[in-house]
Amino acid sequence: MNRKHIAAATALALVLLVVFGWSALMAAMGHAGLIAGLAPVLGLTVTQVVRGSRSRTAASGHRVAAVPDKEDGAS
C-alpha cells in the first residue's frame, strides 16, 4: 500500500468511528427517535465516503475498446 491508500483508509476509519460513536452516544442518551430519523442520511454519507475513496477505474467496472471511425478506412 502506498501513502495515499493508507491516508484514505485512516480517514475512512476516522469518519466511521465518529459516525458510529455519535450514534452510540445518542442511543445512550435516549434519543432513539433522532437516530431513526437520521439513519438514512448517515448511511448515505458512509456510502459516499467509501465510493469516493475507491479509484475511478475500479468504480467503472469495465473498459470499452475504441472503435475506429468509418472515415478512417474509406477511400
The domain limits of the chain are 1-53
The pLDDT of residue 73 is 56
State the Cα–Cα distance between residues 61 and 66, nearest whole angstrom.
16
Q: Exposed, middle or buried: residue 68 (CB in 10 Å: 0-12, 13-18, 19+)?
A: exposed
Share of the chain above pLDDT 90, in %: 0
| pTM, full prediction | 0.44
The pLDDT of residue 18 is 86
pLDDT band at 56 (very low <50, low <70, confident <90, very high): low
Q: Say if residue 3's pLDDT is above 70.
A: yes
Please give the grid coordinates belonging to residue 30.
435516549
The residue length of the chain stands at 75
